[in-house]
Amino acid sequence: MTTPIDWDELTRRAFEVRERAHAPYSHYHVGAALMVASGRVFVGCNVENASYGLSLCAERSAILQMVAAGEKDPIGIVVITRGPIVGTPCGACRQVLAEFALDMPIRLAVEDPAVPARMTSLSALLPEAFRAEALK
């Protein structure tokens, strides 16, 4: 049985973890909160590195926490960015998310409550994702 997604709680958790982001270069703090079918929530924030290519996005950070905890069935994610434009997951994050749940709903929001959150889905953001089936 899949737990219903509490979007407000996920949003609160994403805002909370966003405060712990390590973004001394871009100053673009991102927080993500991911819910799995069991109801557990995993959070992640971006962690930048002086060697830029080694930086880790919030969405992948949350996925790594999920996998490390033995879960593999995400059902929804909230991503919070600075704004004023609502940010979307980067291409690498979209591909990593697609490894686990291509049709997952995604709520995108910014720190300014006057800017409305936006709902989308991973399949809308990454049509024709590269999937394991292609490796057979």
Of 60, 21, 16, 66, nearest to 41 (Cα)?
66
**Is 76:32 a contact under the CB 8 Å cutoff?**
no
Of 87, 72, 100, 98, nearest to 32 (Cα)?
87
DSSP codes of every residue in 89-128? --HHHHHHHHTT-TT-EEEEEES-TTSPPEEEEHHHHSTT
Catalytic, 71? Answer no
**Is 58:40 a contact under the CB 8 Å cutoff?**
no
Task: From the candidates 19, 48, 59, 111, give the one annotated as an active-site residue.
Answer: 59
Catalytic residues: 59
